[in-house]
Chains A and B, each alone.
Chain A
Amino acid sequence: MDNKIDILISPKLLSIDRCYDFVVNEGCGGICLFVGTVRNRNKNEDVTHLEFEAYKEMAVKEMNKIAEECHLKFKAKKVAIHHRTGVVSITEKAVIIAVSTIHRKNAFLACEYAIDRLKESVPIWKKEYLENGSYWVNARP
Chain B
Amino acid sequence: MKIKCFGIAKDITSTETLNIKDHAIVTVSDLRQWLMTNYEAFANVKSCMVAVNQEYANDNLEISDLDEIAIIPPVAGG
Residues of A within 8 A of B75 (CB): 119-125, 138
The distance in angstroms between the C-alpha atoms of A3 and B28, with both chains bound, is 36
A111 on interface, CB distance cutoff 8 Å: no
The distance in angstroms between the C-alpha atoms of A55 and B73, with both chains bound, is 11
Residues of A within 8 A of B11 (CB): 136
Give a binary string over A55-94; 1 marks a CB under 8 Å from any B CB, 0 the rest: 1011101000000000000000000000100000000001
B77-A138 in contact (CB<8A): no
Residues of A within 8 A of B46 (CB): 138-141
Q: How far is the CB of A94 from chain B (nearest CB, A)?
A: 7
- Residue of B55, B56, B76 near A136 (CB, 8 A) is B76
**Contact (A94, B7) CB under 8 Å given A55-B72, A139-B46:** no
What residue of chain B has the Cβ atom nearest to residue A58's Cβ? B54
Is the interface on chain B under 10, 10 to 19, 20 to 34, or 35 or more residues? 20 to 34
Is the interface on chain A under 10, 10 to 19, 20 to 34, or 35 or more residues? 20 to 34
Q: How far is the CB of A140 from chain B (nearest CB, A)?
A: 7
- Residue of A61, A118, A126, A127 near B54 (CB, 8 A) is A61
Q: How far is the CB of A43 from chain B (nearest CB, A)?
A: 14
Q: How far is the CB of B51 from chain A (nearest CB, A)?
A: 6
Residues of A within 8 A of B45 (CB): 139-141
Residues of B within 8 A of A119 (CB): 75-78
Can you list 9 contacts pairing A with B, beta carbon distance less than 8 Å?
A54-B77, A55-B4, A123-B75, A124-B75, A126-B76, A126-B77, A138-B73, A138-B74, A140-B46
B interface residues with partner A (beta carbon < 8 Å): 4, 6-8, 10-11, 44-46, 51, 54-56, 70, 72-78
Nearest 4 CB-CB pairs, A to B? A124-B77, A125-B7, A58-B54, A137-B76
